[in-house]
Structure 1
């Protein structure tokens, strides 16, 4: 009988019980972003804290394996980011890289991760190319993108009569994508673009660019940039009396952290789009106050999106019973996203996580009841309107 059992097992007649598998005995997540430059408030070290919060809230382990989070500063340079990512994958057993502020960085690391068969979840990068022509079976885009920003901020201003635009655009992939997406939406709604000018990343002097915008006579000056670049442009626009002259500034990527850094006095009246606001409901407020206690700041959409991305990744590992890339990627596509960031979020075939976004207006200082209470939520834009249909995204992985 013993010989019969051994023989049966050897040919697979007796199935072994399924065993959860985690490579290297741990799950290791890398948060790679700008921690010292123009986007350090946009995501920065607070995205790392958001990732830690997600791990702690999940319980600290998945499939009985510990979860570790590491972080590094890519300095907004794609080559530095790629070198860090390669080292993480090749020698430090990192399983997934997230955040990736700056579109050039996001595209570079997603391409490397595809080669290495590793999962990336972009929460800080904006370009739709991540889920378009350069999509990856292991790449996901979580918090926002340039299409959602264009639909939100661009659409609102055209409907309010802002039908002629001039763009100040950051001179790299993110800026081009944001200008292109907003231009398409403005013209689709009957508006026009009368001109544009590009400026280097981390500019300190916007005077010549703003004078060109002012001279154009456009009703709206679209700031297709982010972080300190947007803050500096808004401050210097005030010095030239641009808004006093009747032109309106549209901050196409501006978050709560940027409003706080600029100050409500200078930012009041700005329209912008975010996919998270801490004071939108009781659940988001509870999360926001925990985040504030931990970091000294309220979360913006990048921080909350990173929290959600880490939680979703861990849930996918748990559901797959392994951290093997193909299985986890399949679960990320399959599982709905329900957490403080997204309600009934869904991941498209191109890796785009689709959820509602919100059109905001920065309050006048007299209407602010407490620190960080900067927004009025003007409208909720359904995710299916805010984001491109995956079938129309240009992603070669999507079957019609």
Structure 2
């Protein structure tokens, strides 16, 4: 990884505390510049991914507010343009409009892998930086990778390999039978492919393997299939509000087979209600991470919105901060210059115990992850702290590469 020397304002851009320290100076600085730097933010605000998109929108606004309070970027204020991406076609249209009509310097966001692909295509065609904050598909880092698209969100392989270590230790893989339920769209198809690769390599089999339409709300038929299959582990690879609905119905049916999965968002567990969230899951970040940066972020978000941030909020908040920091340090908003900077594998503080970096060969952000396990109902003290967490994965001294897809597993060739 390339050596990296931060400049003095780096920590100010990374923390709300630093932003507050420069608040008194910022109005004069910002008035000296008549032009603002526009950031485009696209994410689903409606539909089955809407609850996650709301966290993304709140976090990106918080990041921009903190940066502007600290004096902006190169003395210029950031203006955040936010839109509901809704679906892939709409995401593409709005990305193109933001770039060509509104003159955004970059685009941040998205959750749907299908929409992420179409935004990436627009970004590549126009030479505009796009940092994906919520799309998990390995294909976006592989067969569909783009020179101007980067990924702070973990890829499916990282989710599978990180929590897969836990399942292996608990004896839930080798010689075991899983019942899998997977969202029937790009994210789910890609995740299922990666999960099957993991199972094949570790001696497990599938007792059931069901693709679930994204508009499904009643899981009664699937519950009956699970009961008949008597699996060793139920693997839930659903998306958005589907996950919340499944948690509630799983409890209602009284099923007690171990439950887990390879894709997870804490907001969906919170929405399920006390006692309905069960099992062990992977997480790219959570609000109980014990670092100074995480505690400051959680406090700032909670003060602003009356509830703690979750993992989707972490991605959008840090993506905005990383781009702003890079523009400040490079002295430019030029996308090509930022792409080159990211590809140097410069390190960035993302509120964890060690810094992370964008991997040059596929633009995946390499950083720690966590395994979380639901608490029993009698140990839950409030509506937010409903789980325990593992130590960071990979462990201290281990390479961050351990949980990511290898080049052989997922090959990226950037378009010229």
* TM superposition score normalised by structure 1: 0.87
Q: 1:386 aligns to what?
A: 403
Q: 2:350 aligns to what?
A: 339
Q: Deviations over 1:227-252 (max 9, x none)?
A: 21111122222233322xxx222133
Distance, in Å, in 2 between the alignment partners of 1:371 and 1:390 is 41
Q: 2:163 aligns to what?
A: 153
Structure 1's consecutive aligned runs of 4 or more residues displaced over 6 angstroms after TM superposition are none
SS state of the match for residue 211, structure 2? strand
Q: 1:9 aligns to what?
A: none
Shift of 1:99: 1.5
Distance, in Å, in 2 between the alignment partners of 1:60 and 1:365 is 46
Distance, in Å, in 2 between the alignment partners of 1:181 and 1:85 is 29
Q: 2:10 aligns to what?
A: none
Distance, in Å, in 2 between the alignment partners of 1:33 and 1:368 is 32
Q: 1:62 aligns to what?
A: 73
Shift of 1:310: 0.7
Whether 1:49 and 2:58 are equivalent positions in the alignment is yes
The CA RMSD measured in Å over matched residues stands at: 2.1
Select the structure of larger CA radius of gyration.
1
The answer to whether the 8 A contact 2:163-2:282 is kept is: yes
Shift of 1:360: 0.6
Distance, in Å, in 1 between the alignment partners of 2:154 and 2:115 is 16
The answer to whether the 8 A contact 2:282-2:370 is kept is: yes
Equivalent in 313, 319, 332 of residue 329 of structure 2: 319
Q: 1:286-365 residue pairs with structure 2 within 5 A?
A: 286-334=296-344, 335-340=346-351, 343-349=354-360, 350-365=362-377
Q: 1:264 aligns to what?
A: 274
SS state of the match for residue 61, structure 1? coil
Shift of 1:341: 5.1
SS state of the match for residue 230, structure 1? helix
SS state of the match for residue 61, structure 2? helix
Q: 1:395 aligns to what?
A: 412
Shift of 1:390: 5.1
* TM superposition score normalised by structure 2: 0.84
Whether 1:32 and 2:42 are equivalent positions in the alignment is yes
Distance, in Å, in 1 between the alignment partners of 2:402 and 2:311 is 18
Whether 1:172 and 2:185 are equivalent positions in the alignment is yes
Shift of 1:83: 1.0
SS state of the match for residue 65, structure 1? coil
Q: Deviations over 1:247-300 (max 9, x none)?
A: 2221332222112111231114x2111121222214212311221121222111
Whether 1:129 and 2:142 are equivalent positions in the alignment is no
Q: Please, which runs of 5 or more residues in structure 2 have no aligned partner? A: 1-33, 395-399
Distance, in Å, in 1 between the alignment partners of 2:101 and 2:414 is 30
Q: 1:97 aligns to what?
A: 107
Equivalent in 198, 215, 235 of residue 202 of structure 1: 215
Instruction: Report the CA distance shift for 1:57/1:340 in structure 2 as closer, same or farther (over 3 A).
Output: farther
Distance, in Å, in 2 between the alignment partners of 1:320 and 1:275 is 28
Whether 1:279 and 2:296 are equivalent positions in the alignment is no
SS state of the match for residue 265, structure 1? coil
Q: 2:244 aligns to what?
A: 231
